[in-house]
Amino acid sequence: MSALPRDHAALPDTMLRDLEELVTCESFSADLGAVARSAGVVAAQGTRLLGVPPETIVIDGVTHLRWTFGAPRVLVLGHHDTVWPIGSLLTHPWSVAGGIARGPGVFDMKAGLVQAFHALASLPSPDGVCLLVTGDEEVGSPSSRALVEEAARRCSAAFVLEGSAEGGALKTARKGTSNYEVVVHGRAAHAGLEPRKGANAAVELAHQVLAITDVAALADADGTASPALAGPDTAVLTEPDAETTVTPTVLTGGTAPNTVPALARVAVDVRVPTLAAQERVDALIRALSPRLSGTRLEILGGPNRPPMEASSSAGLLALAQRVAAGLGLDPLGGVGVGGASDGNFTAGVGCPTLDGLGAVGGGAHADDEHVVVAALPGRTALLAGLIRAVLAGERGEAGNGHGAVDGAVPR
């Protein structure tokens, strides 16, 4: 069962040319002009391969693309923005050597877009598919989240073209993310003449950082809050057994060396495996209270992406393993990962979701970002085979926990 045309052996060269075209058009998320230019290149490539132009959607200055074929039952989801600042091609140029392609964004996730275009182009008809390519995934999808969730609610399966896990494994679970900023308000005073008239926000911030990282004050194993959390010694911590992480990151404070700081703040990164853990940590963060007289706390932010729990992908993983076997590909595994993607949103609204269907490679966001060229045709065939199977009503072998029967099947 091949999902690619008979001349698929020639695809690596064709796909490499398309990949070079996308990688050499830089698309740093924070540069909306660059994202718009990238969207133009992605749209042109998709139009050439799919035969129709996309709908161009600009929200808050960010350019997204959507192809809709008939009444969608399958969502193919990707993004064209990257974490690489404009000019990164000078230090990380496009190259292909020893069967490895390199360049900014090559793995995360421009190779996935090329695979998506070629997979859809290989189908007898793309009818029943929505291909959504967003432009702000790397910064949390603030303008595209509604687009992603709207599309997912109408579909029986979502296939996310993020790069694979190690060894080509699919991503079957992702942690949810929450982002907070704990702001301490104090009172300024001259550090030499009358420091006691101040309320030192920096010292209070130090107490809060310790509270945020103190594992002894975690919620009980059954998810109920410990009585110790009810008073001023409230603390929030990493929960190693459940793989929840709560990490203070960027700290700022003060205005001058001889002034008691009146303001200080810390950013907090939270990763959770379940919605219950996300809600529990949110409650604990908001229960933080000041230690020093004259200071007060302001808690900003909150949950960003819900967890993509393993139940949302179980049926689709079984289906993918069956499709891969039929194509003669290596056996497929599935792993849970800490990073989030737009797959968190699709799973969060109840759409069975399988992630990591993009390129085989590694080094996302790092100097060694790369793609294994020889794997491109096989991954393309896998995606095409999955789409065909879902549209034909095939089922996986495991329930997904979201109402669809035995994996993602058409409604």
Q: DSSP letter string over 131-197?
A: EEEES-GGGT-TTTHHHHHHHHHT-SEEEE-PPP-GGG-EEEEE-EEEEEEEEEE-B--BTTT-GGG
Q: Tell me if 122 sits within 8 A of 377, measured CB to CB.
A: no
The contacts of residue 157 (CB under 8 Å, 6+ apart) are 73, 74, 75, 316, 351, 352, 353, 354, 386, 390, 404, 407, 408, 409
Q: Please tell me the distance from the alpha carbon of residue 17 to that of residue 365, in angstroms, as a whole number.
A: 22
Quote the pTM value: 0.83
Domains of the chain, first to last: 8-174+308-391 (3.40.630.10), 176-305 (3.30.70.360)
Q: Please tell me the distance from the alpha carbon of residue 406 to that of residue 411, in angstroms, as a whole number.
A: 12
Count the Cβ atoms, other than its own, within 10 Å of residue 151: 23
Asked if residue 308 has pLDDT above 60, the reply is yes
Asked if residue 6 has pLDDT above 70, the reply is no
295-299 contact pairs (CB < 8 A, 24+): 295/184, 295/185, 295/186, 295/187, 295/199, 295/200, 295/201, 295/204, 296/184, 296/185, 297/182, 297/183, 297/184, 297/185, 297/208, 298/182, 298/183, 298/184, 298/185, 299/180, 299/181, 299/182, 299/183
Q: Please tell me the distance from the alpha carbon of residue 288 to that of residue 274, in angstroms, as a whole number.
A: 22
Q: Check residue 396 and give its pLDDT.
A: 59
Q: Check residue 184 and give its pLDDT.
A: 98
Q: Check residue 226 and give its pLDDT.
A: 34
Asked if residue 74 has pLDDT above 50, the reply is yes
Q: Check residue 10 and give its pLDDT.
A: 56
Asked if residue 313 has pLDDT above 80, the reply is yes
Residue 81 annotated as catalytic: yes
- Active-site residue (options: 18, 20, 26, 81): 81
- Name the token pair of 371: 């793609």
Q: Please tell me the distance from the alpha carbon of residue 209 to that of residue 207, in angstroms, as a whole number.
A: 6
- Active-site residue (options: 20, 26, 108, 137): 137
pLDDT band at 13; cut points 50, 70, 90: confident
Q: Any idea of the CA torsion for 274, 276, 282, 285, to the nearest 10 degrees?
A: -90
Asked if residue 275 has pLDDT above 60, the reply is yes
Q: Check residue 150 and give its pLDDT.
A: 98
Asked if residue 5 has pLDDT above 80, the reply is no
pLDDT band at 64; cut points 50, 70, 90: very high
Q: Check residues 87 and 230 and name the one with the higher pLDDT.
A: 87
The tens digit of pLDDT for each residue in 111-166 reads 999 999 999 999 999 999 999 999 999 999 999 999 999 999 999 999 999 999 99
Task: State what percent of residues in the chain have pLDDT above 90.
Answer: 79
The tens digit of pLDDT for each residue in 206-239 reads 999 999 986 323 533 344 333 333 333 333 334 4
Window from 245-254, 350-359, 391-400 with minimum mean pLDDT: 391-400
Share the mean pLDDT of the chain: 88
In one letter, which amino acid is 366? A
Asked if residue 22 has pLDDT above 50, the reply is yes
Q: Check residue 408 and give its pLDDT.
A: 35
Asked if residue 345 has pLDDT above 90, the reply is yes
Task: State what percent of residues in the chain have pLDDT above 70.
Answer: 86
Mean pLDDT of 54-59: 98
In one letter, which amino acid is 68? T
Q: Any idea of the CA torsion for 155, 121, 320, 140, to the nearest 10 degrees?
A: -60
Asked if residue 8 has pLDDT above 70, the reply is no
Q: Is 111 helix (H, G, I), strand (E, B) or coil?
A: helix
Asked if residue 29 has pLDDT above 80, the reply is yes
CA torsion sign for 355, 359, 363, 365 is: negative
Asked if residue 315 has pLDDT above 90, the reply is yes
Residue 406 annotated as catalytic: no
Q: Check residue 209 and give its pLDDT.
A: 94
Q: How would you classify the pairing of strands 296-305 and 170-174?
A: unpaired
Q: Check residue 242 and give its pLDDT.
A: 52
- Name the token pair of 102: 């390199």
The tens digit of pLDDT for each residue in 373-410 reads 999 999 999 999 999 999 999 865 543 333 333 333 32
Q: Check residue 277 and give its pLDDT.
A: 85
